[in-house]
Structure 1
Amino acid sequence: MSTIGWTEHGSSLLARWHSENGAPPPEHVVVVDDRITARAAYSLAKAGTGLLWRGDFHNARQLVQAVERRRQRAPRAARSGSDPAALFHDHRAARAARAELLGRVLVVLEGDHSLLLRRAPDVRPACDHAYGVPTADPPHERICVSLPELLGVLSAYQWHRRGVDIPVLGARIHPDYGVFSPVRGEYIDLVHRAPFPAGADQPLVFDLGTGTGVLAAVLARRGARVVATDINPRAVSCARANMARLGLTARVRISEADLWPSGRADLIVCNPPWLPAEPTSALELGVYDRGSDMLHRFLDGLQDHLTASGEAWLVLSDLAERLGLRRREELLARIAAAGLRVAGRHDTTPRHPRAADTTDPLHAARRSEVTSLWRLVRNSR
């Protein structure tokens, strides 16, 4: 367990350090408040110093924004031409550097997750949701987190409470903190429309990497019996809660597993992370897949888990191909090497706002992105 220490009012204090993205605690911490200037804060954070905020909550948010503006004005190395892969890696590196810098503005949560700052909201429900409810016996210790992480916790809690409208369900899915939110409805529509394998009106379906359980719910509403898995305990809890809200617990069984449940299924569905890159947090596991590991394990395991007449649905964007991170030939070769063939493909184009954001350095690739549902069957069929 990491701790973070600082000196305040002549006393040496400690708190448990918590970072969802695994960032180490700053080695040096100074206590600051409303009197610090953006220039001084930027200089200290740039030098690696943690700024433990003891002033007004809203002023702390403004300070983070001011430090971000100074970061944007600072000279930067030229981007790597027009090569999409280089632009992608530059973009990720810039985002990581931004997170590291802004993550040096810190706050302390008390043992009950309260935040003792002027004009601070009651953050306890959101922090209980993200970090777990503190125990009374023994007394829960104080924790120190970055202010951007706390703001993310508050935002995620609002998403959780409000939910995400899923038109094909006629209901909302409620994402938990650290579980990827199903805001891109085009891939959900693909799963809703694709025909079940011939002769399987009520198929047994494996939903691998279920996340919030949204695809499991769509499939169950279509009459399938679903076994859904996820390696993330937060996702398992989230999916179970969503199935209970939707009245689908009798049709959907959810378990914590590294991809595969036991047995064979008539239909196996997987929406793996679309970009082969290193995730930096639990939430990024829904977007980035190091070396396309989940994609490869899904394809390689289908022979052992599909029924003889079964079918697999691979839901995958071609954004990685447009960014030069994976070639279409590599995907097709991997499918063939797994003893599979493509029985069909259903395509759709993105509807999310980033596809129209011309300020995004990856705009050209996002604008032309295609998301596909690949229907895969055994090569012998």
Structure 2
Amino acid sequence: MSQLELRQLRKTYGHVVAVDNLDLQIDRGELVSLVGPSGCGKTTTLRMVAGLQTADRGQILLEGRDVTHEPANRRGMGVVFQSYALFPNMTAAANIAYGLAVRGRPESDVKRRVAELVELIEIGDAADRYPHQLSGGQQQRVALARALAIEPPVLLLDEPLSALDAAVRLTLRLEIRRIQRSLGIATMYITHDQEEALSISDRVVVMREGKAEQVGTPEQIYTSPANEYVARFVGTSNRLDVRVHDAAGAKVEWRGSIVPVLSDGPLSANSAAVMVIRPERIRVSPLDDADRRNGGTWDGRVVERTFLGATTRLTVAVGDDVLLADIPGEATSTARFAIDDPVSISFEPGGCRLIPASPGSMPDPGAGIRE
């Protein structure tokens, strides 16, 4: 039995459908992220689960019990909001203890539980400080501890790191994952940050216009996107218009060469299709070093070069297509690939995938490139 289950959950605001017949299960100990652009329905979903908004239709099951129409206080969810919502007139320890105190727990139990959580979230002496005396990261930890104090059946996190700077976000998302794993609590995590969702989750739900476009492990979402929208929204991908050459052998033709592809659906010979390949699966060589014995190489020109630390991203024009290619930083240490240099590109085996097109799903940022 799942710890939390959503069945055909739907919510509308007038004529706007915020959540459209969403099905989802979260097991005990599992962290599932809902990721998508603003207005896709992810926060509305969390608020319905928490009991802060009422579903128009569908069911919310908590450990098999239908809580769809129960008030928030009877669901006992632990919720952390983007703003943290700490009580300014209470110390960190008092904020953590609040949920237990209003439930009438014995003072000895409250003190013991607060001490456990102060140790778990590693705030030390800061437990006696007031919110305005805490850093943003410490406030986030206190808000998390307060949500966990009541030992909720499900933890709900609504973009908890969005107000923090990049370095603190990276540290705290690892801390959230450590704490969540140590407690084995079912968790719904809301974020618009694709990298955050991929790094922290057991499974990811990619949402658009109230619907789940794909549900899968981070690896499945990244390497096997269900459609063009997912490929374009999660990570960076190159999108190429191709024509199916060999339906049985899963091969397509692009710019005069035959390319083996991965595909989950049936193919029709000579039909138009969309192929995606991630930047790290494109090989770039100086034009003179290209191995043309077996085909599958294309001549291009470097039009942009961006240093990203561990990698360098090259923007390569091949005819009227423009592709992004990520290469290890040391490969460019001697500036072999300068702007306007002629180069040859090829695709790594297993790197190309055919996907269903999603017309009108997102703005087109340029030929060949999908951010």
Which protein has greater RCO, CA pairs closer than 8 Å, 6+ apart?
2
TM norm. shorter chain > 0.5: no
Q: Which has the higher strand share?
A: 2
TM-score, normalised with respect to structure 1? 0.29
TM-score, normalised with respect to structure 2? 0.30
Q: Which has the higher helix share?
A: 1
